[in-house]
Amino acid sequence: MARARRSANDPSHAGDALQQQTQTTMTDRQASTARNQENSLAAFLAKKAEFDAQLAELAQASEDHFGADPETVLWGEAAWLSDATAKLKDIVDQHFRRGEYET
């Protein structure tokens, strides 16, 4: 049995071509989405490692009273710690959606 060859002007041929093009576009879009997600994850994990390292540094510095001698601490050290605490509080509030970041 020989199959009849469709002409390029045949409406069903045009429909097949459109369907194939749509499938290719969907596949390309899915591949692009997958690559985008992989790249996003890699960037996120790199920043998370940086964040974790900074937290570890801050924890160690806190153990050492941020280099201040508790017996000779003055207002400059207290003001610096107050400023650093406010910045850290802002980050915590953003993450946990508290205060001005509450939704």
pTM: 0.67
Residue 29 token pair: 């879009």
Q: What is the mean pLDDT of residues 42-48?
A: 98
Q: What residues contact 97, with CB distance under 8 A and at least 6 apart?
A: 103
Q: Is the dihedral of CA 34, 35, 38, 43 positive or negative?
A: negative
Q: How confident is the model at residue 93 (pLDDT cuts 50, 70, 90)?
A: very high
pLDDT digits (tens, 9 = 90+) for 19-43: 777 777 879 999 999 999 999 999 9
Scored b (16 or more CB within 10 A) or e, 2-20 reads: eeeeeeeeeeeeeeeeeee
